[in-house]
Amino acid sequence: MIGIYGKPILFMMIKLSIVLCIGISEVPDRVYGLALCRGDAGANKCQECHAGVARDAAERCPGNKGATIFYEFCHLRYSDQDFFGSSTGTEYYMSNAENASDAPTFERLLGDPLDNLTIRAVSSERRFATGRVDFSNLQKIYALVQCTRDLAPEICDVCLRGEIGYTPEFCKSKKGARVTGGSCYLQYEVDPFFNISAATDPLPPPPPPVLRHTSPPPAGTPAAGDTKNSSILIVAITVVLTVSLASMATIWICIRRKRRTKIIETLKLATMNFSDQNKLGEGGFGVVYKGVLADRQLIAVKRVVTSSGQGIGELMNEVALVAKLQHRNLVRLMGYCLQAQEKLLVYEYLPNKNLDRLLFGIARGLLYLHEDSRPKIVHRDLKASNILLDEGVKPKIADFGLARLFGNEQSYGNTDRIAGTHGYMAPEYVMQGQISTKSDVYSFGVLLLEIVTGKRCAGYYGSDPPTDFISYIWRHWEEGNPIQLLDRGIYEGCSAEEVLRRIHIGLLCVQRDPLERPSMSLVVVMLSSHSTSLLTISPFQCSTSTSEDPGVTSRPTGIPSRPLPLINDASAINSDITTLEPR
């Protein structure tokens, strides 16, 4: 549902039990709203629940342009940003105080039902499924999963499996738990908590029976034998249909499970069981391995590490985004596999490893994200190690775990969770949590200056006193001797004028005021055309995002109590960039 702020949108939602979208054009402010009842809730309970949640939203969030409120049988969400079709939102975990008597068995028995329910929910138009499994002779486990109906099947699958993946960490060994996110929900208990009759998907009606009579009975008087035969035939057809559908569902679930197991075994074989010999790199929440399939096709497999408590949320974000993006300067996602034990992403293999040298085509990839993609995307973690080169040395942007979606008409946003790599983050983002396409422009400027100078942004340079990377470059530029900054390997192959032009563009991109920075479309023009006049750099307006530990990469927690891991980047110890040779 789309409405206008100030209008009674919350009370319009009371009557909804499904997602309803109504477009309103030419309005200054829009609100996107979603109201959903649990799949087993009846009409009266649904209406009563949404009446309460709407009142709560009006009382507890007055004037707010976004809120998510959960009740037992319904939830309501609204925002000034378009969230339809994406699995965005923070997950909340609630668990029972009591632990299961046999925790290992309980967790083992819980995994398969949740996996099966996810498969059923994804394939159902209602995006809803329930089930139970015997825990002991006297106890059962009851479970329920549901997605909002605006989610495509693959996004619903990613959303639910993400929540399932976090459950062992935050609800370990508990007899019951609820996991609630903006777009999907799961719950399990040892006692029945859902309406079994309402939760069961109705079977399709049986086809009308075809009866043959040797001699038709008189009009208006049914033959007793025919009536009996008709009843028997209807019962028989119903039983056959029920058994057939149940058998087909069981076979389909088994095939899906075997297929996933086969995929994992194939990837283990391709990567030599994820051996260190095949390791290409390691990031904040996963390790990337080189793999060779049976047909000799090279792949890159990212194996997500969930022990840190961070990987699932970013994995969901990356799958949902990269699967939809197609551009020559963006890395291509070939597939993914989400199991309780293994969470893998499969990418095209790019043999030239990470970008640490000359690269300017990446600007076209950013331009696509900012202006041509729908919705537009801010990457938030652009840096040398997140840009890969193919065999033709064509750059491709990778790692969309921190990417932020923006509405087509939205120019900026805010966050209270700062995530990214120190040295590449724009000052307004670090200090005030402001996010915009100009945040990526700043990161691109830092990257460009790294390329030209051959130095990393995470170091301190000069003396009397030592300064940070951006200030060091600005000081040389202001003193009129930027030639001293140039990387000798680049300077020998290019004219001084060309490289100085690159420094000028880089300094334009890292100005403190985001309004002074050029857009990526202008950056592309300035890089590709030597006849284009460059803008004047505002004096004393260059700044950098500093950190006590320049080698630390921060990522969003998803849950406030989760600690941020410190990722030590061994390559940041040396300030000079070493030349990398392709494998």
Which residue shows structure tokens 């549902």?
Answer: 1
**Residue 317 predicted with pLDDT over 50:** yes
Q: Which domains does the chain have, with CATH numbers?
A: 2-79 (3.30.430.20), 92-199 (3.30.430.20), 277-348 (3.30.200.20), 362-572 (1.10.510.10)
Predicted local distance difference test score (pLDDT) of residue 12: 30
What element of type H or E holds 189? strand 184-189
pLDDT > 90 fraction of the chain, expressed in percent and rounded:
10
Cα separation of 370 and 520, whole Å?
8
Which residue shows structure tokens 């399939």?
Answer: 293
To the nearest 10 degrees (0 to 180), the angle between helices 496-509 and 469-479 is 130
Mean pLDDT of all residues in 19-35: 52
CB atoms within 10 A of CB 447: 24
pLDDT band at 355 (very low <50, low <70, confident <90, very high): very low
Q: Does residue 115 carry a catalytic annotation?
A: no
With 0-12 CB in 10 A as exposed, 13-18 as middle and 19+ as buried, what is 275? exposed
pLDDT > 70 fraction of the chain, expressed in percent and rounded:
64
Predicted local distance difference test score (pLDDT) of residue 502: 85
pLDDT per residue over 212-266, tens digit each?
A: 444 444 444 444 455 555 556 665 566 556 555 555 554 444 545 455 567 788 8
Most confident of 21-25, 441-445, 541-545: 441-445
Cα separation of 526 and 536, whole Å?
13
- Torsion sign over Cα 567, 573, 576, 579: negative
pLDDT band at 23 (very low <50, low <70, confident <90, very high): very low
**Residue 4 predicted with pLDDT over 50:** no
Point out the catalytic residue in the list 381, 399, 487, 569: 381
pLDDT band at 182 (very low <50, low <70, confident <90, very high): confident
More confident residue, 135 or 512: 512
Predicted local distance difference test score (pLDDT) of residue 505: 92
pLDDT per residue over 190-207, tens digit each?
A: 888 888 765 544 333 334
- 3-class secondary-structure state, position 286: strand
More confident residue, 517 or 368: 517
Residues 6+ apart with CB under 8 A from 358: 451, 490
pLDDT per residue over 438-495, tens digit each?
A: 999 999 999 999 888 888 887 777 666 777 888 888 888 888 888 777 766 555 555 6
**Residue 329 predicted with pLDDT over 50:** yes
Token pair of 266, please? 């194939």
More confident residue, 426 or 395: 426
Predicted local distance difference test score (pLDDT) of residue 129: 92
Distances (CA, A) of 441 to 364, 465, 486, 506, 520: 12, 29, 22, 9, 7
Predicted local distance difference test score (pLDDT) of residue 406: 81
Q: What is the 3-state secondary structure (H, E, C) of 31-89?
A: EEEEEEECCCCCHHHHHHHHHHHHHHHHHHCCCCCEEEEECCCEEEEEECCCCCCCCCC
Is 362:440 a contact under the CB 8 Å cutoff?
no
pLDDT per residue over 382-402, tens digit each?
A: 988 888 877 766 788 888 888
Q: What are phi and psi of 206, to 5 degrees?
A: -70, 155
**Residue 570 predicted with pLDDT over 50:** no
**Residue 18 predicted with pLDDT over 50:** no
Mean pLDDT of all residues in 522-548: 72
Cα separation of 367 and 440, whole Å?
10
Q: Tell me which of 36-40, 165-169, 421-425 is least confident.
A: 165-169
Predicted local distance difference test score (pLDDT) of residue 515: 92
Predicted local distance difference test score (pLDDT) of residue 127: 92
Predicted local distance difference test score (pLDDT) of residue 6: 34
More confident residue, 563 or 223: 223
**Residue 189 predicted with pLDDT over 80:** yes
pLDDT band at 360 (very low <50, low <70, confident <90, very high): low
Can you say which residues are annotated as belonging to the binding site for ATP? 302
Predicted local distance difference test score (pLDDT) of residue 285: 66
Cα separation of 322 and 327, whole Å?
10
Q: Tell me which of 109-118, 329-338, 477-486 is least confident.
A: 329-338
- 3-class secondary-structure state, position 227: helix
Most confident of 109-113, 150-154, 528-532: 150-154
Is 139:105 a contact under the CB 8 Å cutoff?
no
